[in-house]
Structure 1
């Protein structure tokens, strides 16, 4: 795994952003937490070349409150960050950040932006 990704996740903490949360995986557990994403409990890979399957270069680094995955494409030069619903039968990822560096900038702003917006009344007022 690229050192940049390990360094990034090692510096993260779980984010509670009012109406949702992002739970980051820790470097020591990153390999075992790929089970269910890139391979099964027996170590069989889910990655193949078919549409909707997992990609070998994707590394799950976090999940949100609903269990949807946030992952990095370790094969891209800028480490593009994606999200996708987990348990839908096929992976349909969408880009949430063009790079891991830009994603870091966004997650540093999220707690400030979500302050006072933890419920419908707070959202309406802020």
Structure 2
């Protein structure tokens, strides 16, 4: 495993930021002190024997497992032989390691993306407005994150943030039901807006929004 102080510092920063948003994310990042043990089954077997070879589909010596995707357990790796240490997710259970997707063209950009998410959640949680967070807000945030990232992909980030998308959709569905119920009770849009501390524009939007009620 190719591991130096520079990589350690970057991974520690990533771990610290990833911890702040674990309840909203579909992935986990390891602490640098855990990395040696987390390579078992990838670059080494349980007895410490190397699984690295030059064969097609084999594990590469420059890969370090730094985390995993929660839903399917796919390892998240960095490529230490590339500038910036690109971040990828590899598919396990395929018989080789040829299948996977890039998550970011560098470890720094991946970390910066998570920092932006944390800042967004913090700012929104303190805002005295309704709706606090929308799925459209999350979409715009991802677009901002991937804008300067060559390997950044909207669907990949959205998948990694599935828990916050699910909770936000539930929040918006419940808000929609409240708006519709108040409207059915005879309140006009301005009255609903005042009751829920929403803008008139948002009140109208949620009144027209489709949801099972």
TM-score by length of 1: 0.82
Radius of gyration: which is bigger? Answer: 2
Task: Answer 1 or 2: which has greater helix percent.
Answer: 2
Question: Aligned partners of 1:117, 1:70: CA distance in 2, in Å?
Answer: 21
Q: Kindly indicate whether residue 32 of structure 2 is the aligned counterpart of residue 30 of structure 1.
A: no
Alignment RMSD: 2.4
The structure whose RCO (Cα within 8 Å, separation 6+) is larger is 1
Correspondence for 2:9: 7
Correspondence for 1:55: 60
Deviation at residue 102 of structure 1 after TM alignment: 0.9
In the alignment, is the contact (CA less than 8 A) between 1:59 and 1:74 conserved in 2?
yes
Gaps of 5+ in 2: 122-137, 139-160, 174-213
Gaps of 5+ in 1: none
Number of equivalences: 124
Correspondence for 2:165: 117
Structure 1 residues 9 and 123: CA distance shift in structure 2, 3 A = farther
Residues 20-43 of structure 1 show CA distances to partners (whole Å, capped at 9, x for unaligned) of 422111111111110011110111
